[in-house]
Amino acid sequence: MRKIAFIGAGSMAEAIISGMVAKDIVKPKEIYITNRSDKDRLAFLQSRYGVSISESLETLLKDADIVFLAVKPKDILGAMEAAKPFISEQMLLISVAAGVHTASLEGLISKKVSIIRAMPNTSAAVGESATAIAGNQHASEHDLDLAQELFETIGTVTTVKEDQLDAVTGLSGSGPAYIYYLVEAMEKSSLTIGLDAETAKQLIIQTLIGAAAMLSQSDKSPAVLRKEVTSPGGTTEAGLNVLEDSGVQAAVISCIQEAAMQSKKLGRQISDELAESLLNAR
């Protein structure tokens, strides 16, 4: 039996726990959770999933095989300083803290620990995340395979180089918000063309599901699929002409580029803050 410890008990931690338990990859009795102060949250997770909870990091991390670091970036320093005495080089540390580099974690731990940094997205809550993972120099192929198996319980998993994770953040990490933004516009338009909100919602959702299935199951490119729907002089062409004239495609490209650059900027900021904290501590 392996032991999986979670430092942090927020929505992402719950999504991962829910996926692992539902897919029977991990037994509830193998999962241990703690957080900084919200005992009601821990009690809820224990009641719902049958996991163990602990207020003691020493108890939580004792004999742990895998440690999920699922705290907010601003709480990384405190969490790692408290956990450091109980982290061993035999553990696999998996971080879902956005923008926190594996090098920063290594510096905080001061041990040769296998670390995997993961970037899931909020669709993990319904088991449909697009997750990217990257390992540090100490992470083996076995470690990456194990992380992939765990994250596949909440969606698909892609292994990338760590310096690509900022691009992943801009594309798929923030991606659900871009889709929701498009759906907002589609819903607003439906009111102007005579459809009630509930009818429009059903049509929009199924349209998205159908388009995603076509992209997934077809070997044709998005451009080809779009052209196949677009008859000369037809309704689709009329709508697409407005999008083209409004520069929507260029705006989406710029949107993703800007989000990726912001991810890189925040990552550097977090790394600098952690480095400064380490220097001050010494």
For the domain bounded by 4-161, which CATH number is listed?
3.40.50.720
13-27, 98-112, 168-182, 191-205: the lowest-pLDDT one = 98-112
Domain spans in the chain, listed from the N-terminal domain onward: 4-161, 173-258
Indicate whether 281 pLDDT > 80.
no
Write down the pLDDT at residue 210. Answer: 97
Write down the pLDDT at residue 1. Answer: 66
Spatial contact of 60 and 82, defined as CB atoms under 8 Å apart: no
d(CA 4, CA 127): 20
Indicate whether 3 pLDDT > 90.
yes
Write down the pLDDT at residue 277. Answer: 76
Write down the pLDDT at residue 28. Answer: 95
Write down the pLDDT at residue 279. Answer: 73
Among all chains, which residue has been given the structure tokens 């392996």? 2
Q: Per residue in 114-167, pLDDT tens?
A: 999 999 999 999 999 999 999 999 999 999 999 999 999 999 999 999 999 999
- The proportion of the chain whose per-residue pLDDT surpasses 70, expressed as a percent, equals 99
pLDDT-derived band at 207, boundaries 50, 70, 90:
very high
Q: Which residue from 110, 117, 73, 121 is spatially nearest to 96, judged by alpha carbons?
A: 117
pLDDT-derived band at 282, boundaries 50, 70, 90:
low
Considering the domain 173-258, what is its CATH architecture?
Orthogonal Bundle (1.10)
d(CA 28, CA 46): 9
Q: Per residue in 18-61, pLDDT tens?
A: 999 999 999 999 999 999 888 999 999 999 999 999 989 999 99
First to last CA, the chain: 39
Write down the pLDDT at residue 271. Answer: 87
Cα 90 vs. chain centroid, distance in angstroms? Answer: 25
Tell me how many degrees the CA angle 170-172-174 measures, rounded to the nearest 5: 55
- The proportion of the chain whose per-residue pLDDT surpasses 90, expressed as a percent, equals 87
Residue 156 CB neighbours (<10 A): 13
d(CA 53, CA 234): 60
The chain-wide mean pLDDT, for the chain, equals: 94
Q: Over range 2-10, report the average pLDDT.
A: 95
Buried b or exposed e, range 246-276, using 16+ CB within 10 angstroms: eeeeeeeeeebeebbeebbebbeebbeebee
